Structure 1
Amino acid sequence: MADAEDTTAGLVRLCVLAVVAGAGIGFVGGAFRWCLGHLDRWRVEMLGWVHDLPGPGWLIPIAVTAGGAAAAAAIVRLVPLSAGSGIQHVEAVDHGEAQPPALRILPAKFVGGLLAIGSGLILGREGPTVHMGAAIGATTGHRARLDDTDVRLLQTSVGGAGLAVAFNAPIGGALFVLEEVMKTVRLRAVVPTLVAVAVGVGCSRLVVGDRPDFLVGPIDPPSLELLPVFVVFGVLTGVVGVLYNRTILGALDAVDFMRNVSPVTKAALIGAFVGALLAIDPLTAGGGDTLSQRILDGGGALPMIAALLVIRFVAGPMSYATAAPGGLFAPLLALGALWGVLCSGVTELVVPGDHPSLRIALAIVGMAALFGAVVRAPITGVVIVMEMTATTTLAVPMLAATAIAVLIAHLAGSPPIYDSLRDRMLAGPRPPTALP
């Protein structure tokens, strides 16, 4: 009886702390999104201004992105743990393979993420937000004198709240913790996670509003005769997911091979390349939200879609290889939408009949299926895309395509991307991560 009371009291205490830490990542993550939104608009205005300039105005976006990447890399040299996504570190902490993140990574991730993503690198906001949430959760648990197990649990729960805040997807954020990070469903993990997510998303909506990330018009459920199309699409997407994982790891290996070049210089060179892409077309770089919305609005000729797919397939991993603070999810969703639209063009040539919603349907399904193939968290991918698009009529084809894509990636022997990134992190030099 006493053990039960201790367990209940411990759970209540975790939930109270989850409220405090959830509010913290809600406001911090909301502010991060708000700043990135303004930087995205500034970047578009800057590119418009540059195109009207006489002379080599294209050098300006090159300088801006190179400078942002270099400055972000300089921050990483000061705070090594702020590099990259940070989700792999959250997973390593949850598995007992690393120490929880200290609160000092919060300003490094915040400022470094704004410099990297705001300047145009193809990185997502979710990685920094998850890692900042984990740092807030771990620090809250440490200050409350929780034991190591509960500190890790709180850092993971509030990290999930960070993902929910990044995408305005509360259910997806909670599922990410249970399916991808903890890989278990226990009452002591579920309840604090749900509390942190609910409070975090509620607080962030006070800053950025509560509309879905993408506005999508009504979509009729695809007919059952099209289900084989989505199954084949899932097979192909699984192959693309395997190739994308290998491209990410290959880009990291290529940058690591340049041992005689400083990390800041390498980041600046990659940033200059991405800046040149921006000078050609703003949709070739950046996190990808604008591109995804354009696709979901029905825009884009197929040749342009194919070109953007190839460019971002290569430039996205290159951006991640800078080690600047930034994640993989948002660019991955844009890539999945591009892939879906490209496949819809081929499908319309070989499948008889008129299917007016197929283009948008495959774009949305492509987001979830490619996410599943790369991250290997299929339920999380499906739910996040549903929440971001406020669309449920595609549930059946989305589940079918995502399941097949995950199966193909598994059969190909390709590990989930965050498993690979975690292994790389643990094999390299370990930065000081212990809490103060």
Structure 2
Amino acid sequence: MDIENDQEPSVPGRELVTICLLASVAGVVIGGVGGAFRWCLNHVERWRLEMVEWAHTLPGPGWLVPVAITALGALLAASIVRWVPLAAGSGIQHVEAVDRHQADPPGFAVLPSKFVGALLGIGSGLVLGREGPIVHMGATVGAETARRTGNADQVRLLQTAVSGAGLAVAFNAPIGGALFVFEEVTRTFRFRVVVAVMFSVATGVACSRLIIGDAPDFAARPVATPSVALLPAFVVFGLLTGLVGAAYNRLVVGSLHLVDSFRSLSPVTKAAIIGGLVGLLSIVAPWAAGGGDALVQHVVGGGALALPVVAWYVLLRFVAGPLSYAAGTPGGLFAPLLALGALWGLLYAGVCEAIVPGIDSSLAIPMAIVGMATLFAATVRAPLTGVVLVVEMTAVTGVTVPMLAASICAVVVAHATGTPPVYDSLRERMLGASPGTR
């Protein structure tokens, strides 16, 4: 990551004022849009879980109801992508490509397409995250706001800056959203970008909290700071998670290639088939479908899960996430990664408790929280962003040191495998493909 200061030309006062005003306006807009999206998604997700419970009470083939609903949601979301191809997938790779002058900034049509398409896909049960659509909607809002000035440089600047506000709104994590821009999107600190990011993030999160509240996303049970003697356990966990993250990245890209290989089927048909499979999965294991917020809350809140059940969910979500992403509907990777990381940490803690003397069940929640940040770091290769996001989402600071140790170990191992960061792979795929941008 480069830190540019003396090398960067000074910003004229009038331009700086313009950037601050535009970033603030765009932040207010994405705060309202992103907050409304989260509010809608929360209600749709609650309805989905209630629907799955209701389906279990139906006589005969009641299990077909969730299958049909997820298939229909995926089909409708993929139909929207047919009209607006840029709405497919996460959108973060497109934000990065625009910042690198490899693609054009998004047009306004991306915003309603992402909003509705992601509600249909994620809300029906696909294992996708809310953050990708909100980040892309933020980039769209930023680009559209700056277009009013007629300055091409500010269009790219604002689309990049307000994408960070989108991530901040998605996770109610303002510092994490800002770091995401510096560590992952631009990989540099430039004064104009820093100013635009800070203004858009501050106004965006402030506005979104009027809709979704200002509490952390997850109410974690109080966690005592782990003993320094346990640090080697976190280091080993980080090394193993590096391998898991590299495998997950390969599976994401491999799933896209596999689904694309069925050329005789239309994208809408393939999305419906994948939706049906995930809907069937939700009958067998309801928490294996969807973004995973309810599952994470159960884990970090101290809810009980038997070790075989945890292992089962790890396996299911490890496969269901990349498969859902391959459907090509609007949706991101972050939120499912956080859920998978929490489960993976819980599984590791359970194994350690069974085989390592001196380790007991008190390690479970700290390891689950560390797992969220560590798997994120291994796949995205943005360890500081992952650590800060998880700290802001859980309001748990006692595991910061083991989280940093595990995350950097995971990044080193994942890098050593030769597997690129997931968004680098997706960006290369997007630039080398025809209209799809998954």
| 1:238 pairs with 2:237 | no
For the pair 1:57 / 2:46, whether they are aligned, the reply is no
RMSD, aligned α-carbons:
1.3
Report the CA distance shift for 1:4/1:285 in structure 2 as closer, same or farther (over 3 A). Answer: closer
Q: 2:111 maps to what in 1?
A: 106
Equivalent of 2:21 in 12, 16, 40: 16
Superposed, 1:7-406 pairs within 5 Å as 7-146=12-151, 148-298=152-302, 299-406=304-411
Tell me, yes or no, if the aligned pair for 2:105 and 2:159 is still in contact at 8 Å: yes
Amino acid at match of 1:412: T
Q: Find the aligned partners of 2:169 and 2:435 in 1 and give their Cα distance.
A: 29
Identity of aligned residues (%): 62
Query: Which range is displaced more, 42-51 or 203-212?
Result: 42-51
The match for 2:417 is 412
Equivalent residue letter for 2:301: D
- Paired residue secondary structure (1:385): helix
Residue 419 of structure 2 is aligned to residue 422 of structure 1: no
Q: Deviations over 1:305-356 (max 9, x none)?
A: 0000001100110000001000000000000001001100111123322544
CA contact (8 A) 2:350 2:361 kept: no
Q: How far 1:409 sits from its partner (Å)?
A: 0.6
Secondary structure of the 1:414 match is coil
CA contact (8 A) 2:353 2:361 kept: no
* Partner Cα separation in structure 1 for residue 225 and residue 166 of structure 2: 32
How far residue 431 of structure 1 moved from its aligned partner, in angstroms, is 7.1
CA contact (8 A) 2:74 2:329 kept: yes
CA distance in 2, matches of 1:144, 1:207: 30
Q: Give the unaligned 5+ runs of structure 1.
A: none
Deviations 1:188-232 (A, max 9, x none): 111110110010000000011111110012111110110110110
Letter in 2 for 1:323: G
Letter matched to residue 88 of structure 2: A
Cα gap change, 1:152/1:53 in structure 2, threshold over 3 Å: closer, same or farther? same
CA change 1:67–1:431 in 2 (3 A) is: closer
Superposed CA deviations along residues 276-324 of structure 1, whole A, max 9, x for unmatched, are 0111221110000001111112321110000000011001100000010
- What amino acid maps onto 2:197 in structure 1? T
Q: Alpha carbons of 1:14 and 1:309: their partners in 2 closer, same or farther (altered >3 Å)?
A: same
| Structure 2 letter corresponding to 1:22 | G
TM-score of the pair, normalised by structure 2: 0.96
CA distance in 1, matches of 2:309, 2:155: 48
Structure 2 counterpart of 1:177, which letter? Answer: V
User: Distance in 1 between the 2:417 and 2:21 partners?
Assistant: 44
Deviating more after overlay: 37-46 vs 326-335: 37-46
After TM superposition, which residue ranges in structure 1, 4 or more long, deviate above 4 angstroms? 3-6
Q: 1:352 to 1:74 in 2, by over 3 A?
A: same
Q: CA deviation at 1:380?
A: 0.1
CA contact (8 A) 2:38 2:212 kept: yes
**How far apart are the structure 1 equivalents of 2:388 and 2:301?**
21
Q: Distance in 1 between matches of 2:306 and 2:149?
A: 56
Cα distance in 1 for partners of 2:16, 2:60 equals 64
Work out the CA distance in 1 between the residues paired with 2:379 and 2:129: 15
Given that residues 216 and 394 in structure 2 are in contact (C-alpha distance below 8 angstroms), is that contact kept between their aligned partners in structure 1? yes
Distance 1:294 1:219 in 2: 15
| Post-superposition offset of 1:8 | 2.5
Q: Deviations over 1:169-202 (max 9, x none)?
A: 0000000000000000111111110110010000
AA in 1 matched with 2:307: L
Distance 1:18 1:385 in 2: 25
- Aligned equivalents of 2:72, 2:419: Cα separation in 1: 35
SS at structure 1 position matched to 2:12:
helix
The letter for the 2-side match of 1:271 is G
Which amino acid counterpart does residue 171 of structure 1 have in structure 2? I
Following the alignment from structure 2 to structure 1, what is the Cα–Cα distance between the partners of residues 416 and 359? 35
* SS of corresponding position for 2:189: coil
Residue-pair matches, total: 429
Q: Can you list the C-alpha shifts for 1:133-154, whole angstroms capped at 9, x where unaligned? A: 00000011011222x2221111
TM-fit CA distance, 1:49: 1.5
Q: What is the distance in 2 between the residues matched to 1:205 and 1:169?
A: 11
- Give the counterpart letter for 2:273 in structure 1: L
Relative to the length of structure 1, the TM-score reads 0.97
The DSSP-based 3-state class of the residue aligned with 2:312 is: helix
- The one-letter code sitting in structure 2 at the alignment partner of 1:246 is R
The corresponding residue for 2:4 is: none
Distance 1:308 1:349 in 2: 19
